Chain A
């Protein structure tokens, strides 16, 4: 029904606001309009009827908030509210009934506490209720978060055969509350199988128009726009919307002529607006939009095109990196996050993420790492795995449009990986390798690329979403092959019109001064037409080559970036003493200083004679009140940098002084204080197992038990989570008898710490170190008075 509506030669007209109408009929602001389906069904039905009479072709149910969490405590179930909502639209005479599905009551993890799976389940429940009640399409509305929108679209696609529309809500600065802009939204969502995308609420038609234009520029699916009747202004308790029906309709008609396929109204619109809209759209043929065909990946905040010199960081890969390997085995992803951040700071536009290491759970590690990287970086990710199940799991939770790395010409790969790319709307790297290995000629590699392209197109994957990697052999073994790779890049571009990518660093495998070889090969590949390079952004040679390439290819106009990059950096403070460098928190200076000391001293000596005394001196200054927390922290971070240099030597630095388990208790999403405690404890030689924030008591108990911890540190910031802290302490005391508990956090007092059964109260992070000292030396006496 709706599909035939959208395929006709005119715009489809949706209805207008429900909430506005209910409020003018007496619904108090802040009340759940959805409950009126049961309390005042007559009113809701009348509003639907008024919109039908005004000419709306699609009626939206009054079920915007009808999810389990928002209905909790209302006395009504999701099924009841949605069944009543669909029935009222039908009774009013609607031929096409759209099930309205609004955003959830909270933010997704890690900023909030709703997991992706939980979001999916909540939306699924609504979709199933809508299907059961006989809705004709699912309209996911007013979304601000691409993660939630994705969960909702997947829930609708996987649990119904109904057409699915999804509209986002943008603010005056052109982004959603969660930062997504129109282009990143379209890129992230259109590949998920939505039948239409668009915008609703927040803005009037005039403000929405430029945003809609941006969407049209990229959208391959029809667009739906439901604008507000202008920007609301508040007059003592009343919200007024300034745009009248006629102006609203004129603006809407312009959007139709630009290419918008369906229009309706949101807050502040009335049947009069819809009547005018219907009249204005009569006989208007929706304009024909011509979406770009550009290879791109995205995060909610960034869109990266793969074209002429895009740098993809290769560093998130265990191969050849001992620290990353070890941390993967321990399940500690912090070094990976640090590496990712460093790669981005060094200029990577996207990051390749590969956690493949024998003996580890690749799928779950990839899932966890992708979630954590996206929590702190807005750089698009290339999900890299040989396991199609891992690729699928990561693509599912990825916020934005990812790149899958990779599919090959092998039959098994084609049948397993391409459907994943199709389902999640991902771009995919195609390797020119098949059952017979990597062909030695460029022409044969072209043939494999062509085969992959054909198969991708067969599945409905757009051509621009395939990026070909022509692969390279190491020059140490087959030097003549470098030229074949470069030739293949040109062929793939000329004959197939596909974007190309190349892992650069393999060329220099087994040869000395790899950076130089990599740089020259990178320059050759760029000259051959390469779009994106997977390389090491931290390599000076790679940085220089790309910067020079950008000047010579006209991308860096006037060489501004180049000049900025080559400006001399401040001289390293070589003449300063290590303690002075530590005191002022000069990380690079400390690392360099330690490296120099290692030329004639043993790592353990450096630790004992230099690092520890310097750290202790800073601690004393802090305790005397001569320096403050930020300076203490700066020094501690510099020491940590120095310790890392010592650890890289592989030398034993002495036994760990004991294990401390740290966590912010369940319900608490703050962790700055806990992280400071962790840093100081680690610097002092304690092993810290950090469980993160919002950690259930059971997980803390399990960690303390499994690892035989003598000390657990708990943090809570607000009164509401103190109960959770008390429960955790009780559970620890019950189940891990030998383990003592220290607590800290803004709302805690010594008195309260004692009351909830803590052994120690740590007023600050340094106090935590002193407590650990005592407990782990074996003379830890239960004492809430602190050190």
Chain B
């Protein structure tokens, strides 16, 4: 919880404490609302070349033996509650939103861990995940990615015509499975949007 709390504060742009009780109460509320669901699928790069659009993702996946497609969501109830607070309590809405962002990130990390472990058993090493919207990887790939994962049927995860994921608190991503461990962790330097990102320098 301590690191989660720190992350939530970072999303809120809050440096120190002072909001702990509000954050904790929002987190407790979130836990009653979220229905975390996730799935992954390992695919052969040769069969899914259409998912690799742009230079950044190509560099990211370079040399991978297999790709892992991932999707995760907290479910629609979280969106509805944040919408409610847009009317009745904006502050709470803002904090709940930050808690939800931290939660979906944590859910992705758990999913990554599962995939990583499964890979190790087969002597494959999972590289960092990469999502549509990072660098020059277009959001327009979202429908194809969701379809390949059958995310609509299996997670209730879809996207709008502007490629927003619905439910909103959701993530899709790709990650490489390599023959050798990935030497460097993800860094902002490798991202073509690094001049333009409010969360720069997070890792």
Contacts and interface: CB of A to CB of B under 8 A. Distances in A.
B91 A720 contact: no
Nearest to A301: B77
Given A112-B158, A337-B87, A177 B75 contact: yes
B94 A749 contact: no
The A contact surface, by secondary structure, is loop
Interface stretch (B57-65, B144-152, B180-188): B144-152
A173 B89 CA distance: 29
A633 interface: yes
Contact of A178 (B19, B47, B76): B76
A681 to B, nearest CB: 13
Interface in B92-146: 93-95, 97, 133, 139-140
B13 interface: yes
B167 A111 contact: yes
Interface string A152-191: 0000000000000000000101011111000000000000
A718 B133 CA distance: 8
B88 A672 contact: no
Nearest to B142: A720
A637 interface: yes
A201 B152 CA distance: 13
Interface string B146-168: 01111011011011111110111
Given A375-B80, A718-B162, A671 B86 contact: yes
Interface in A551-596: 585
Contact of B166 (A112, A301, A375, A675): A112
B49 interface: no
Nearest to B18: A631
A107 interface: yes
A616 to B, nearest CB: 19
B156 A630 contact: no
Interface string A71-110: 0000000000000000000000000000000010111001
A628 B13 contact: yes
Interface residues of A, number: 60
Interface string A132-145: 00000000001010
Contacts of A721: 162
A110 B83 contact: yes
Given A107-B166, A113-B160, A177-B156, A629 B80 contact: no
B4 interface: no
Contacts of B15: 628
B3 interface: no
A497 to B, nearest CB: 37
B24 to A, nearest CB: 13
B160 A669 contact: yes
Contacts of A236: 42
A629 B94 contact: yes
A142 B158 CA distance: 15
A672 B94 contact: yes
A112 B39 CA distance: 22
17 contacts: A30-B150, A106-B159, A106-B166, A112-B160, A176-B156, A177-B75, A237-B43, A341-B84, A376-B84, A628-B14, A630-B91, A631-B18, A672-B82, A672-B93, A719-B139, A720-B139, A724-B162
Given A106-B160, A631-B18, A672-B86, 7 more contacts: A634-B91, A636-B90, A672-B93, A672-B94, A672-B97, A675-B93, A720-B163
